[in-house]
């Protein structure tokens, strides 16, 4: 609609523009002013009509006022500006040609009605919005309350249905609430449990800190604590629990309640105790086992100053025979009986008996006076074994070897103590058994060294720690060097040079003697060849010979003959350059099987010497049977000749032996010649060759060279 | 009924709420005396505060219309507050019948009120969620029901980001929401700033302190900081500008000086 300039429509629009410009700044509408003006236009048109209408219509004017509120003119300033505008311009722009006084009167009345309509609409809108926001707040609170209720219901379900016991008490210890699980654990009704006080549940097995932690918690000094705790049930049984107690504070942080969570560990504890018992006790005898014994021993060894320990280590003598002959069942019954008897020997506080395994038992005594008590304990043990043990109607004599160790706490480790006891027990055993021995540090040290050497032997051979020294054998008739005895040495990295007496028995024991003996033989033969290359195959008095010792173990080794032949052949040395020395004791009671290899070697031309002759139970008649060509007289016969005049008895014996040997076509070599007088005496007695410090100590092969030279020039 | 993760343990209407204060600025009565008291206090420092809110509403209206003109029919309005008049769904559904709108607010009273207002409107709904946890917004059932993230969405963050402190990583939240938007989506954003306020900054700070006192601190950011929210977006002309200067319908010189406080902008995802 295009308004005719200054026509009624144009005038109405101008009024609306003035109105909207006046009101727009105080509205909160998001419309533009132009859009806002479009909203006001129908209102202005209505006012214009009402102004000129025949009769006054208050309700229509009220509606215009209300419409202002609908256009978001909620600021009363908008009404004030509206009324100013209407008052000033409505009649002017819309009055047309009507009577001015009446129009003014009508405009005024319209304004009154608009104001009333505006106020009523604003009041209604305000109330409606207040209602709406209050509803929304309520609604939101309802959501929260419902959620809270649901969450409470969930927590209650958790509380009631939990498998662990839950209880709440106030800070004075009064129990306020408990759940089903807790009631079941205690075997009580809720009535019986409620009103109890936490402090009533003191139990003799409470850990020392339990109630201190409790006090700290209820005083608010601690947020929670965790203990293992026992409770007495009304039926007399004990409930064991894993107990966690927490302090509950209110929103301000003030302590309010204590919350206890407990888990029934009674069965687990019993199981643990049983497992622990099984892990620490011997199933057969029921005695504590090695691990429990070590635990106790360590405790005893870690005891404070002034505390001592005493240990008896028992090994039954000949138990293997019982097992082998009567069977393991009988052996087991024997062990059980021994265990029972031992158990009754160690009943005092600080004493215990344990089975380490097999037929090995230990008894421990502790305290300040073990120097005395350990002897009494040992005596009780030995006495306990005196009475025969009856198994299947047989009375079995039981004997044992006992090693005793006693000493102050804090000096040795459990392993050291037990090793000492073990060594000492073996000392008792090797002394014939059925006795006790007291530990002796020197004996221990020897045993320990022996053990160390035994384990080091194999690698020593690999590493070339062995070497050979040679001691010349001298002809007594002309003083010429006829050969040398090879003597093996061990250059031990820690112990220095060790003689054969220190390690040959160990090597025999472990079987290492076979490879070691072969090595000695190889080395010696190689040396023999070196000498032969230097001095020729033959000295004036015969071949230069090398003497090598054979241990009993080597003697019975099946490869002896072949090994010897191989070594000789490889070196290109004739058998007559070799003399094998065998001890008399090794050949005592030797049967033909044992002698066969020696015979073979002898037939090949290898000399066999009977070493240490005269120390064993020499069966002189037996000498005939042996494939022996030389007797080596033990040094004990010649010691009496070191002085002058010589012991006449020794002289007679040696003379007899020499005469016997020569009549059997055996040569005689004497050992241990230390003086010239001795050498002279032995020459007179008819001995053939000699060795000893008088001539030379054992030494490197070059020394023999020097001697040979001396011999040649002398 | 599950208690929603966002819901406070209790609702305390004795504590002022920014959305009810906003309503009061806009002449509404969806507010309580505590809200009005805080609003009056802030207006004591900055009497023109309502004009800023009005400018926000006017900008939002223009931006929603712009989005509708660009063919966008889905609207996600985060921080929607108390619906009074000229709301996104009214503007959008007037421009595009059937346009879908999801409002998001973390104020349970605002959410409850929105539910009441939107009752019966099939194409609009409100989700209770927090801008600081955008994954909750994206996973909300209302968004699931009404918005197809494979098509462009107008994401409205009008007068909300200045209530998110840096510690709560507003940039991360905006980026995460942006990642969920299909190409051609629009980010419609306004933000408070000391820049453009026709008052000395100390005086404006008095109003800012009021928000700090009600434990809803107002974070004033510089234009440069606000521009960073649009990283990765193509700015729609005229870029990040004071609200009245963004595609005005009428001559900006008619606007109240307060309307020029803070910045508004629209960005388009590539």
Ordered by start, the domain boundaries in chain B are: 48-197+220-269
Q: Which helix (DSSP H) or strand (DSSP E) does residue A218 occupy?
A: helix A210-218
Say if CB A97 and CB A30 are below 8 A apart. no
- Annotate B128-162 with b (16+ C-beta within 10 A) or e (fewer): bbbbbbbebbbebebbeebbeeeebbbbbbbbbbb
Residue A615 counted as domain residue: yes
User: Does position A186 have pLDDT exceeding 60, yes or no?
Assistant: yes
Which residues 86-125 on chain A approach chain B with CB closer than 8 angstroms?
Answer: 125
Q: Write out the two tokens for B1.
A: 């009924």
Instruction: Compare CB distances from B250 to A34, A141, A148 and report the shortest one's residue.
Output: A34
| Shortest Cα distance, chain B CAs vs residue A134, angstroms | 8
User: Does position A39 have pLDDT exceeding 50, yes or no?
Assistant: yes
Which residues in chain A touch residue B57, judged by CB atoms under 8 angstroms apart?
30
Say if CB A60 and CB A54 are below 8 A apart. no
Which residues 151-170 on chain A approach chain B with CB closer than 8 angstroms?
Answer: 151
Distance, in Å, from the CA atom of A613 to the CA atom of A583, rounded to the nearest integer, reads 7
Instruction: Compare CB distances from B30 to A32, A132, A151 and report the shortest one's residue.
Output: A132
Q: What is the pLDDT of residue A576?
A: 87
User: If you ran DSSP here, which 8-state letter would residue B106 be given?
Assistant: S
Q: What is the pLDDT of residue A705?
A: 64
Which residues in chain B touch residue A35, judged by CB atoms under 8 angstroms apart?
249
What's the CATH code of the domain at A553?
3.20.20.450
Say if CB A457 and CB A686 are below 8 A apart. no
- Which ranges of A488-547 does DSSP label H, i.e. alpha helix? 500-510, 513-535
Residue listed under structure tokens 């969920």: B180
Please give the residue of chain A at the shortest CA–CA distance from B59. A30
Residue A156 counted as domain residue: no
Are residues A140 and B108, on separate chains, in Cβ contact within 8 Å?
yes
- For A367-377, what is the mean pLDDT? 92
User: Does position A209 have pLDDT exceeding 70, yes or no?
Assistant: yes
Residue listed under structure tokens 């040290």: A445
Are residues A30 and B1, on separate chains, in Cβ contact within 8 Å?
no
Asked whether residue A425 falls in the same domain as residue A347, the answer is yes
Which residues in chain B touch residue A33, judged by CB atoms under 8 angstroms apart?
250, 254
| Reported confidence tier of residue A695, pLDDT bands at 50, 70, 90 | confident
Domain enclosing residue A194, as ranges: 163-270
Asked whether residue A372 falls in the same domain as residue A473, the answer is no
Query: For residue range B124-171, what is the model confidence (pLDDT) as tens digits?
Result: 999 999 999 999 999 999 999 999 999 999 999 999 999 999 999 999
Say if CB A631 and CB A666 are below 8 A apart. yes
- Terminal Cα-to-Cα distance of chain A (whole angstroms): 164
Compute the half-sphere exposure of residue A533: CA atoms within 13 Å on the CB side of its CA. Answer: 8
Distance, in Å, from the CA atom of A63 to the CA atom of A66, rounded to the nearest integer, reads 5
Asked whether residue A500 falls in the same domain as residue A608, the answer is yes
User: Does position A195 have pLDDT exceeding 80, yes or no?
Assistant: no
Least confident of A230-239, A383-392, A581-590, B13-22: A581-590
Residue A60 burial (CB count, 10 A) = 17
Q: Write out the two tokens for B86.
A: 């000229």
- For A174-199, give the DSSP string: BEEEE-HHHHHHHT--HHHHTT-BGG
Say if CB A444 and CB A420 are below 8 A apart. yes
Residue A287 counted as domain residue: yes
Superfamily, domain B48-197+220-269: Vaccinia Virus protein VP39 (3.40.50.150)
Which residues 1-60 on chain A approach chain B with CB closer than 8 angstroms?
Answer: 25, 27-35
Q: Rounded to the nearest 10 degrees, how much is the dihedral formed by the CA atoms of A199, A203, A204, A208?
A: -60
pTM here?
Answer: 0.52
Q: Which helix (DSSP H) or strand (DSSP E) does residue A452 occupy?
A: helix A441-462
Are residues A144 and B108, on separate chains, in Cβ contact within 8 Å?
yes
Say if CB A290 and CB A281 are below 8 A apart. no
User: Does position A539 have pLDDT exceeding 70, yes or no?
Assistant: no
Are residues B10 and A126, on separate chains, in Cβ contact within 8 Å?
no
Say if CB B111 and CB B126 are below 8 A apart. yes
Q: What is the pLDDT of residue A253?
A: 87
Residues 6+ apart with CB under 8 A from A224: A217, A244, A245, A246, A247
Boundary (domain end) residue, out of A217, A238, A270: A270
Asked whether residue A296 falls in the same domain as residue A382, the answer is yes
User: Does position A1 have pLDDT exceeding 60, yes or no?
Assistant: no
Mean pLDDT of chain B: 91
Which residues in chain A touch residue B20, judged by CB atoms under 8 angstroms apart?
133
Closest CA to A186 of A203, A170, A172: A203
Which residues in chain B touch residue A140, judged by CB atoms under 8 angstroms apart?
11, 108-109, 111-112
Which residues in chain A touch residue B13, judged by CB atoms under 8 angstroms apart?
137
What's the CATH code of the domain at A236?
3.30.450.20
Most confident of A632-641, A643-652, B207-216: B207-216
Say if CB A614 and CB A657 are below 8 A apart. yes
Would you call B179 helix, strand, or coil by DSSP?
helix
List beta partners, residue B155. B76, B187
User: Does position A156 have pLDDT exceeding 70, yes or no?
Assistant: yes
Asked whether residue A646 falls in the same domain as residue A530, the answer is yes
Q: What is the pLDDT of residue B165?
A: 94
Annotate B200-257 with three-state secondary structure.
CHHHHHHHHHHHHHCCCCCCCCCHHHHHHHHCCEEECCCCCECHHHCCCCCCHHHCCH
Are residues A33 and B254, on separate chains, in Cβ contact within 8 Å?
yes
Asked whether residue A551 falls in the same domain as residue A645, the answer is yes
For residue A322, what are the CA distances in angstroms to A164, A287, A329? 56, 21, 10
| Shortest Cα distance, chain B CAs vs residue A126, angstroms | 5
Which residues in chain A touch residue B249, judged by CB atoms under 8 angstroms apart?
32, 34-35
Distance, in Å, from the CA atom of B51 to the CA atom of B196, rounded to the nearest integer, reads 13
Instruction: Compare CB distances from A137 to B2, B3, B11 and report the shortest one's residue.
Output: B11
Distance, in Å, from the CA atom of B44 to the CA atom of A56, rounded to the nearest integer, reads 44
Residue A275 counted as domain residue: no
| Shortest Cα distance, chain A CAs vs residue B210, angstroms | 22
Are residues A133 and B7, on separate chains, in Cβ contact within 8 Å?
no
Asked whether residue A225 falls in the same domain as residue A92, the answer is no
Asked whether residue A596 falls in the same domain as residue A689, the answer is yes
Q: What is the pLDDT of residue B7?
A: 46
List beta partners, residue B156. B77, B188
Residues 6+ apart with CB under 8 A from A121: A65, A66, A67, A68, A69, A70
Asked whether residue A406 falls in the same domain as residue A300, the answer is yes
Domain total in chain A: 4
Please give the residue of chain A at the shortest CA–CA distance from B7. A144
Distance, in Å, from the CA atom of A609 to the CA atom of A627, rounded to the nearest integer, reads 9
Say if CB A418 and CB A394 are below 8 A apart. no
Boundary (domain end) residue, out of A439, A455, A475: A439
Which residues 235-254 on chain B approach chain A with CB closer than 8 angstroms?
Answer: 249-250, 254
Query: For residue range A596-619, what is the model confidence (pLDDT) as tens digits?
Result: 899 999 999 999 998 888 776 666
Query: For residue range A95-142, what is the model confidence (pLDDT) as tens digits?
Result: 888 899 999 999 999 999 999 999 999 999 999 999 999 999 988 888
Residue A709 counted as domain residue: no
- For A481-485, what is the mean pLDDT? 88
Share of chain A above pLDDT 70, in %: 96
| Reported confidence tier of residue B1, pLDDT bands at 50, 70, 90 | very low
List beta partners, residue A633. A613, A670
User: Does position B3 have pLDDT exceeding 60, yes or no?
Assistant: no
The answer to whether the bond into A337 is cis (omega within 30° of 0) is: no
Q: Write out the two tokens for A274.
A: 């049983």
Instruction: Indicate the length of chain B as a whole number.
Output: 270
Are residues B11 and A34, on separate chains, in Cβ contact within 8 Å?
no
Query: For residue range A303-323, what is the model confidence (pLDDT) as tens digits?
Result: 888 899 999 999 999 888 888
- For A137-161, what is the mean pLDDT? 86
Q: What is the pLDDT of residue A64?
A: 96
Asked whether residue A468 falls in the same domain as residue A424, the answer is no
A152 burial (CB, 10 Å; 0-12 / 13-18 / 19+) is exposed
Q: Write out the two tokens for A549.
A: 């010792």
Distance, in Å, from the CA atom of A102 to the CA atom of A106, rounded to the nearest integer, reads 6
Closest CA to A668 of A620, A616, A633: A633
Residue A169 counted as domain residue: yes
Would you call A315 helix, strand, or coil by DSSP?
strand
Q: Does the ipTM exceed 0.95? A: no
Least confident of A115-129, A357-371, A435-449: A435-449
Boundary (domain end) residue, out of A215, A250, A270: A270
Asked whether residue A682 falls in the same domain as residue A565, the answer is yes
Asked whether residue A387 falls in the same domain as residue A503, the answer is no
């Amino acid at each position: 609609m295009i308004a005719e300039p200054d026509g009624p429509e144009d005038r109405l629009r101008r009024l609306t523009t003035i109105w909207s410009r006046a009101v727009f700044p105080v509205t909160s509408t998001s419309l533009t002013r132009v859009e806002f003006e479009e909203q006001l236009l129908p209102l202005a048109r209505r006012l214009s009509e009402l102004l000129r209408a025949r009769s006054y219509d208050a309700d229509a004017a009220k509606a215009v006022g209300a419409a202002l509120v609908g256009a978001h003119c909620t600021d009363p300033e908008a009404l004030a500006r509206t009324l100013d505008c209407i008052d000033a311009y409505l009649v002017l722009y819309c009055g047309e040609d009507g009577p001015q006084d009446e129009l003014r009167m009508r405009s005024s009345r319209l304004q009154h009605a608009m104001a009333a309509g505006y106020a009523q609409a604003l009041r209604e809108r305000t109330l409606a919005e207040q209602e709406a926001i209050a509803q929304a707040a309520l609604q939101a609170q309802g959501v929260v309350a419902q959620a809270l209720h649901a969450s409470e219901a969930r927590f209650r379900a958790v509380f009631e249905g939990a498998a662990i016991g839950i209880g709440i008490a106030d800070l004075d210890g009064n129990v306020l609430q408990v759940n089903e699980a807790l009631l079941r654990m205690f075997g009580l009704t809720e009535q019986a449990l409620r009103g109890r006080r936490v402090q009533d549940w003191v139990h003799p097995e409470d850990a020392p800190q339990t109630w201190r932690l409790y006090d700290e918690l209820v005083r608010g000094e601690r947020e929670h604590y965790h203990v293992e705790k026992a409770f007495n049930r009304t039926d007399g049984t004990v409930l064991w629990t894993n107990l966690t107690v927490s302090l509950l504070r209110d929103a301000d942080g003030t302590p309010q309640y204590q919350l206890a969570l407990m888990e029934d560990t009674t069965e687990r504890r019993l199981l643990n105790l049983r497992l622990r018992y099984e892990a620490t006790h011997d199933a057969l005898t029921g005695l504590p086992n090695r691990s429990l014994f070590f635990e106790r021993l360590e405790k005893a060894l870690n005891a404070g100053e002034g505390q001592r320990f005493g240990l008896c280590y028992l090994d039954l003598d000949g138990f293997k025979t019982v097992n082998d002959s009567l069977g393991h069942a009988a052996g087991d019954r024997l062990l059980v009986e021994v265990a029972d008897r031992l158990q009754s020997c160690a009943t005092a506080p600080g004493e215990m008996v344990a089975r380490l395994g097999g037929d090995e038992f230990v008894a421990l005594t502790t305290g300040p006076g073990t120097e005395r008590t350990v002897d009494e304990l040992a005596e009780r043990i030995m006495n306990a074994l005196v009475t025969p043990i009856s198994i299947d109607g047989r009375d079995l004599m039981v004997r044992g070897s006992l090693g005793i160790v006693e000493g102050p706490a804090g000096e040795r480790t459990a392993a050291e103590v037990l090793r000492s006891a073990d060594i000492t027990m073996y000392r008792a055993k090797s002394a014939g058994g059925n006795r006790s021995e007291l530990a002796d540090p020197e004996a221990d040290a020897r045993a320990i060294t022996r053990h160390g050497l035994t384990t080091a032997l194999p690698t020593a051979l690999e590493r070339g720690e062995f070497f050979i020294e040679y001691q010349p054998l001298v002809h007594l008739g002309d003083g010429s060097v006829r050969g040398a005895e090879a003597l093996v040495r061990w250059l031990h990295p820690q112990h220095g040079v060790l003689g054969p007496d220190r390690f040959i028995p160990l090597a025999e024991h472990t079987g290492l003697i076979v490879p070691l003996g072969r090595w000695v033989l190889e080395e010696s033969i190689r040396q023999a060849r070196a000498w032969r290359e230097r001095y020729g195959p033959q000295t004036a008095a015969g071949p230069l010979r090398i003497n090598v010792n054979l241990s009993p173990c080597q003697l019975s080794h099946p490869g002896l003959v072949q090994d010897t032949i191989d070594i000789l052949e490889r070196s290109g040395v004739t058998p007559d350059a070799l003399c094998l020395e065998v001890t008399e004791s090794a050949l005592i009671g030797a049967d033909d099987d044992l002698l066969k290899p020696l015979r073979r070697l002898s037939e090949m031309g290898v000399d066999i010497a009977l070493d240490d002759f005269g120390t064993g139970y020499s069966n002189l008649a037996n000498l005939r049977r042996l494939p022996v060509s030389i007797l080596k007289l033990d040094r004990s016969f010649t010691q009496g000749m070191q002085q002058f005049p010589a012991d006449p008895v020794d002289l007679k014996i040696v003379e007899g032996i020499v005469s016997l040997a020569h009549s059997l076509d055996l040569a005689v070599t004497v050992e241990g010649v230390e003086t010239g007088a001795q050498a002279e005496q032995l020459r007179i007695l008819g001995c053939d060759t000699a060795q000893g410090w008088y001539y030379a100590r054992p030494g490197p092969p070059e020394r023999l060279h020097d001697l040979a030279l001396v011999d040649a020039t002398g | 009924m599950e208690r929603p993760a966002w819901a406070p343990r209790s609702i305390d209407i004795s504590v002022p709420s920014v959305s009810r204060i906003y309503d009061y600025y806009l002449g509404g009565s969806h507010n309580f005396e505590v809200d009005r008291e805080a609003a009056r206090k802030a207006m004591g420092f900055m009497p023109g505060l309502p004009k800023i809110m009005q400018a926000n509403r006017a900008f939002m209206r223009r931006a929603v219309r712009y989005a509708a003109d660009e063919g966008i029919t889905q609207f996600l309005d985060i921080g929607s507050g108390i619906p009074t008049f000229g709301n996104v769904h009214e503007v959008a559904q007037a421009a595009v019948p059937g346009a879908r709108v999801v409002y998001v607010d973390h104020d349970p009273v605002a959410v409850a009120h929105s539910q009441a207002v939107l009752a019966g409107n099939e194409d609009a709904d409100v989700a209770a969620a927090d801008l600081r946890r955008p994954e909750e917004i994206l996973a909300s059932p209302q968004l699931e029901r009404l918005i197809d993230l494979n098509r462009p969405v107008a994401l409205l963050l009008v007068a909300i980001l200045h209530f998110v402190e840096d510690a709560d990583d507003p940039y991360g939240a905006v980026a995460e929401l942006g990642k969920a938007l299909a190409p051609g989506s629009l980010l419609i954003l306004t933000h408070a700033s000391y820049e453009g306020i026709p008052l000395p900054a100390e005086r404006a700070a008095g109003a800012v302190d009021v928000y700090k006192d009600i434990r809803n601190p107002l974070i004033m950011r510089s234009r440069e900081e606000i521009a960073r929210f649009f990283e990765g977006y193509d700015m729609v002309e005229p870029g990040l500008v004071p609200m009245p200067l963004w595609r005005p319908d009428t001559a900006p010189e008619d606007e109240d000086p307060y309307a020029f406080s803070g910045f508004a902008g629209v960005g388009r995802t590539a």
